[in-house]
Amino acid sequence: MSPKITTELLKQLRQVMKNPRYVQEPVQAYIVPSGDAHQSEYIAPCDCRRAFISGFEGSAGTAIVTEQHAAMWTDGRYFLQAAHQMDSNWTLMKMGLKDTPTQEDWLVSVLPEGSKVGVDPFIIPADQWKRMSKALRSAGHDLVPVKENLINTIWTDCPQRPCKPLITLDLSYTGVSWRDKIVALRSKMAERKVMWFVVTALDEVAWLFNLRGSDVEYNPVFFAYAIIGMNTIRLFIDGDRMMDPAVREHLQLDSTLEPEFKIQVMPYGSILSELQAVGAGLSPKEKVWLSDKASYALTEAIPKAYRYLTPYTPICIAKAVKNAAETEGMRRAHIKDAVALCELFNWLEKEVPKGTVTEIVAADKAEEFRSQQKDFVELSFATISSTGPNGAIIHYKPVPETNRTLSVNEIYLLDSGAQYKDGTTDVTRTMHFGTPSAYEKECFTYVLKGHIAVSAAIFPNGTKGHLLDSFARSALWDCGLDYLHGTGHGVGSFLNVHEGPCGISYKTFADEPLEAGMIVSDEPGYYEDGSFGIRIENVVLVIPAETKYNFKNRGSLTFEPLTLVPIQTKMIDVNLLTEKECNWVNEYHQKCREVVGAELERQGRHEALRWLLRETEPLARVQ
Amino acid sequence: MSPKITTELLKQLRQVMKNPRYVQEPVQAYIVPSGDAHQSEYIAPCDCRRAFISGFEGSAGTAIVTEQHAAMWTDGRYFLQAAHQMDSNWTLMKMGLKDTPTQEDWLVSVLPEGSKVGVDPFIIPADQWKRMSKALRSAGHDLVPVKENLINTIWTDCPQRPCKPLITLDLSYTGVSWRDKIVALRSKMAERKVMWFVVTALDEVAWLFNLRGSDVEYNPVFFAYAIIGMNTIRLFIDGDRMMDPAVREHLQLDSTLEPEFKIQVMPYGSILSELQAVGAGLSPKEKVWLSDKASYALTEAIPKAYRYLTPYTPICIAKAVKNAAETEGMRRAHIKDAVALCELFNWLEKEVPKGTVTEIVAADKAEEFRSQQKDFVELSFATISSTGPNGAIIHYKPVPETNRTLSVNEIYLLDSGAQYKDGTTDVTRTMHFGTPSAYEKECFTYVLKGHIAVSAAIFPNGTKGHLLDSFARSALWDCGLDYLHGTGHGVGSFLNVHEGPCGISYKTFADEPLEAGMIVSDEPGYYEDGSFGIRIENVVLVIPAETKYNFKNRGSLTFEPLTLVPIQTKMIDVNLLTEKECNWVNEYHQKCREVVGAELERQGRHEALRWLLRETEPLARVQ
């Protein structure tokens, strides 16, 4: 990996920073954030502006270029990668280290008095704008919106914004029609006394209209906005996608509809002017609902007194609670996914000893088996296929330079998942194809105990996921061990593999309470730098729990694993498990046998079935 | 309990709200918060202004009086009490209920356009002012500071502000001299580049100067402020307390000292003008450090650009980590406290069957036994002595109207503590003097399991207490039970029984990480409305833990119980305990025997010693 040479690019950028064609007044600094205009976690190539200007391709990072300096802020996951990919024009700002200045402090320290700092108002979220603007103002500088993105002015071979065909999802997948979703949304709007709701997140647009796309890799979304009024629906979307008869029929574009369900289709780029028109036409007390993470540009389109901002939108919260059709779809998807993994692990067991299977080969084979399953669309994220020391790199993705061969002497960690038309999967299994050491088994067993502690937890209705995080760590903590990531994230239904507003992590406090129908991952781990990585991840569904008593009639919840892939018993030190934990493993494996076994049988995959039966033999606990 | 008649008082208050002698312009509403000028949890009688105007005496509540209305906001603990104590002039606003408006929303709904809302700027914390002011301004009203407290203008028989003698604490109690504390504080100030630190919390003034007082019941503090500069020390305190030779010597007021340790003693009431003088004399970049909970009046004395506000002050954080002298003092105090409780429980065991012991009698007896111990000063809070259904009222305090007689048929809950010159105690034990039911034992055992889960927890350095809260609930949750309060609070060393910045609660997220030397309570419970209450509380010290491994060299922590009072084994269903839990109880009781037994022996309290030995017989677990 050699660094990108950015001398010429930076020179060009510094020129446009002073060019009156693009900026009203010269800006002394320009901020290039990671995101797109929808604050997406995964972005399209045309939105990889920060990677273009710096060479650094990690998923998180902010570049700031001044007349003299170019600096990149990123977190611990990416220190090495950023250092490799950037040339000497760039200073790496290691976030989380004590001596690293914040972006604001750094700007204040390097800028001449009374400077202007530019940023694309469509890319920066309103809450970040507010913080940055306040800090700069108090030091005598100004944060200014630069309408035309300055990177785009110098990015001559910038790829086109994707505009791929849409998939329509019928009721058997979604459970609720888009009309009924609009009705429910309007009732939430009425409750809060708002007249308009602006849909800015891509997965929220997709969910609301029961449409999917493929504009962004791994996330079945498409570039669009929507503005929902009490009597109007405006969908902002480009291309000839609305010419597709299936889409026209799905959205009833050519039907005679009650006016409040008539969708007005408008160009993607007209969102700002349309929203400004909405803003200009508001009567007193008419509020407009936006996410507080919506872009500064869209937020500013509505006069401050008329804005109603919340951290989670009503769509985000409704989307998180899966209905029966979605839950059933997720179950089906996870059974198919388990079939593919049984095939894979059976294959690996035979092939690894030959010494011909690399991390990339294994990842490709996993994709091949998944793609044989019905309704497979694509992977849900870049497969983490890692063996030995690579397993300790939590966000590892094998590339030719690091590609390691699987062997019978090393632990193999596979974190992978797929998009099926009926659901999204995300599963991690840690396997040994030879004989694990006592220490490896010990660590694996602590991780397993943490996994079970969350999966089997019973907790009252109204509990937030972050209150469960310590359960996953307790067995590790007892021995002085830990892992430096959260325990779980929300999972979409044929949508983004990471979604809010729920999760299981010590890091957040603002998560919404767990409720029946929500789906999260349960994925504790343990990582020994330079040696191995262990993670055990299931996707689990929040379900009501039966309890002996019922305090204040609150009701209780627990989790049902949707993922049904054997947990390698060879890695378990049974003597470290309690009887309850041992029973949990045996019951889980019994369910894998019954449910996945039946599907393997149905698909005629007899060898993988034999593998499954062997891997799910009950544990015998020494009394 | 009959309500206080407030018709005449409200009339008088409404008159002064328009009287130009007190207000520059008439105020249409006047806010009467609970607190004093130091944001104390416990307040002196002269600061009970909200109770004076409304009759409501609970510890939390805010009164707002307008020309037409009088409304009181309080939380679920006090709905009944407030309804009883207030007459029909008052509307009770039940906080936490869905339909209850916030103070801001209510004000906006009742005020005429362009109103002024008055409040004493010395009583309202700056952060509350900010929130309230913003909300009112956006609705066209103004929050205005009213310098003279309007309640004081009509409170003709307002008690004097207490001004009681001070206690000086020598090094054997404090471990660190006040001079060294000033040196350490100045080094923290230098780190943050601030020139001045304003001490506003009473316990912080007391801690910093190694002085104690008795101006507020239960809290050994005295009314004072301090301003610490890099070269100056100003102490704002009233009365002839500074004439006491012991205090003069302790503070070295008459010695020839380096100027930076020379304490300037000033009148309590001159803090504002002195701070304004400091504010006026600041050079650019000279900052003044204040708690963000300091009063609006003091915060405003410093121009905004010069303020450095933090949620926890450096004194708050230093005070929380007890040194060896303080820890040893706390140990001694807890042994003496255990002696008193062994005496009490032995006495109760004999007396309760006679039917002559009421909750008040038991509380008085507890105080009597405590007062026999060396260095006893006073109780650390109002004793919660509650039997049967009264035990389910979490903040119960027995009064003649509710006073219930202890019997062999009901559970008795005693939550009590004392101030000794060497430490502060706070302990809850739940006892049955007859035969508990299987259900009572079951609930008690779940609470005990939660208590042990926290007490025996091992967790990495840097862990915040709120991450341990769920451990205390897990056993209850498994059966559908829970309790609606936090699990623990910080405890002062011969200081306030509740102190920050650490604790164990699902409600906070901004607590500081636990570190060795911090002292917190561990007090899960279970409350069955109308029947009984159970709580098991120890004060525990954070200590380093030995672990098998040491991830990232972070080190681990655990707790050592300082409270050494038997947990009634009669209430335990041993079959619900794991072997580990059973061993914990037996080891805890063994320690009670050894440590408290030796002290009972030394004090010649042989009957109580026999009681202790009987109560600490090892549990036998059925295998």
A621 pLDDT more than 80: no
pLDDT of residue A77: 81
| Average per-residue pLDDT for chain A | 96
Tell me how far apart the alpha carbons of residues A620 and A319 are, in angstroms, rounded to a whole number.
42
pLDDT of residue A315: 98
Give the 3-state DSSP-derived string for A318-335, with helices as H, strands as E and coil as C.
HHHCCCHHHHHHHHHHHH
Fold for A167-319, please state it: Creatine Amidinohydrolase; Chain A, domain 1 (3.40.350)
Q: What is the pLDDT of residues A326-347, one digit of tens each?
A: 999 999 999 999 999 999 999 9
> Amino acid letter at A549?
Y
pLDDT of residue B508: 78
Report the share of chain B in percent with pLDDT over 90.
94
Tell me how far apart the alpha carbons of residues B78 and B81 are, in angstroms, rounded to a whole number.
5
Q: What is the pLDDT of residues B14-43, one digit of tens each?
A: 999 999 999 999 999 999 999 999 999 999
A468 and chain B: CB distance < 8 Å anywhere? yes
SS3 call for A151 = helix
Which residues lie closer than 8 Å to B83 by C-beta, 6 or more apart?
B92
Nearest of B293, B288, B322, B325 to residue B308 by alpha carbon? B288
A53 close to A62: Cβ distance less than 8 angstroms: no
* CB-CB under 8 Å, B549 with A480: yes
Give the 3-state DSSP-derived string for A207-257, with helices as H, strands as E and coil as C.
HHHCEECCCECCECCCCEEEEEECCCEEEEECHHHHHCHHHHHHCCCCCCC
In the numeric block, the tokens 């559970």 are attached to: B411
Q: Find the DSSP H helices in B86-227.
A: 103-110, 126-138, 150-154, 171-174, 178-191, 202-209
Residues of B in contact with A551 (CB under 8 A): 476, 480-482
As beta bridge partners, residue A525 has A535
Nearest to B479 among A305, A471, A547 (CB): A547
pLDDT of residue B622: 62
pLDDT of residue A620: 86
Q: Which of A61-75, A140-154, A585-599, B92-106 has the lowest mean pLDDT?
A: B92-106
Q: What is the pLDDT of residues B188-197, one digit of tens each?
A: 999 998 999 9
Which residues lie closer than 8 Å to B71 by C-beta, 6 or more apart?
B63, B64, B90, B91, B92, B93, B106
Fold for A6-154, please state it: Creatine Amidinohydrolase; Chain A, domain 1 (3.40.350)
For residue B377, how many other CB atoms are within 10 A of its CB?
18
Residues of B in contact with A550 (CB under 8 A): 480
Question: What angle (nearest 5°) sits at the alpha carbon of residue B294, between those of residues B288 and B295?
Answer: 115
Q: Measure A58 CA to nearest chain B CA, in Å.
A: 25
Would you place residue B295 in the very low, low, confident or very high pLDDT band (cuts 50, 70, 90)?
very high
SS3 call for B506 = coil
B402 and chain A: CB distance < 8 Å anywhere? no
Sheet holding A519-522, edge to edge: A459-460, A556-561, A538-545, A519-522, A488-490, A499-504
Q: What is the pLDDT of residues A284-341, one digit of tens each?
A: 889 999 999 999 999 999 999 899 999 999 999 999 999 999 999 999 999 999 999 9
Tell me how far apart the alpha carbons of residues A528 and A389 are, in angstroms, rounded to a whole number.
8
Q: What is the pLDDT of residues B213-268, one digit of tens each?
A: 999 999 999 999 999 999 999 999 998 899 999 999 999 999 998 999 999 999 99
Instruction: Report the pLDDT averaged over residues A279-286.
Output: 90
Please list the residue range(s) of chain B that carry CATH number 3.90.230.10: 321-615
From the number of C-beta atoms within 10 Å of its C-beta (0-12, 13-18, 19+), residue B248 rates as middle
Q: Measure B509 CA to nearest chain A CA, in Å.
A: 7
As beta bridge partners, residue A488 has A504
Question: What angle (nearest 5°) sits at the alpha carbon of residue B17, between those of residues B12 and B19?
Answer: 90
* CB-CB under 8 Å, B477 with A460: yes
Tell me how far apart the alpha carbons of residues A321 and A542 are, in angstroms, rounded to a whole number.
9
Q: What is the pLDDT of residues A490-523, one digit of tens each?
A: 999 999 999 999 999 998 778 899 999 999 999 9
ipTM of the complex: 0.94
Report the share of chain A in percent with pLDDT over 90.
93
* CB-CB under 8 Å, B480 with A549: yes
Report the share of chain A in percent with pLDDT over 70.
100
Would you place residue A80 in the very low, low, confident or very high pLDDT band (cuts 50, 70, 90)?
confident
Q: What is the pLDDT of residues A197-228, one digit of tens each?
A: 999 999 999 999 999 999 999 999 999 999 99
Any idea what DSSP says for residue A47? G
From the number of C-beta atoms within 10 Å of its C-beta (0-12, 13-18, 19+), residue B2 rates as exposed
Residues of A in contact with B457 (CB under 8 A): 474, 477
Architecture per CATH, domain A321-615, reads as Alpha-Beta Complex (3.90)
As beta bridge partners, residue A558 has A543
Side-chain-side CA neighbours of residue A235 (13 Å):
25
Instruction: Report the pLDDT averaged over residues A347-371.
Output: 98
What the block records as the tokens of A304 is 């401050």
Q: C-alpha B451: how far from its chain's center?
A: 21
Would you place residue A622 in the very low, low, confident or very high pLDDT band (cuts 50, 70, 90)?
low
**Which residue in chain A has the smallest CA separation from B623?**
A623
Tell me how far apart the alpha carbons of residues B292 and B289 are, in angstroms, rounded to a whole number.
9
As beta bridge partners, residue A527 has A533
Q: Measure B135 CA to nearest chain A CA, in Å.
A: 12
Tell me how far apart the alpha carbons of residues A227 and A92 are, in angstroms, rounded to a whole number.
40
B623 pLDDT more than 60: no
Instruction: Report the pLDDT averaged over residues A181-189.
Output: 98
What the block records as the tokens of A482 is 């830990």
pLDDT of residue A623: 55
pLDDT of residue B436: 98
Cis check: omega of the bond before B353, within 30 degrees of 0 = no
Residues of A in contact with B547 (CB under 8 A): 478-480
> Amino acid letter at A441?
K
Please list the residue range(s) of chain A that carry CATH number 3.40.350.10: 6-154, 167-319
B1 pLDDT more than 80: no
* CB-CB under 8 Å, B481 with A556: no
In terms of phi and psi (left: phi > 0; alpha: psi -120 to 50; beta: otherwise), the region of B146 is beta
Q: Measure A549 CA to nearest chain B CA, in Å.
A: 5
A193 pLDDT more than 80: yes
B305 and chain A: CB distance < 8 Å anywhere? yes
Q: What is the pLDDT of residues B355-397, one digit of tens each?
A: 999 999 999 999 999 999 999 999 999 999 999 999 999 889 9
From the number of C-beta atoms within 10 Å of its C-beta (0-12, 13-18, 19+), residue A379 rates as buried
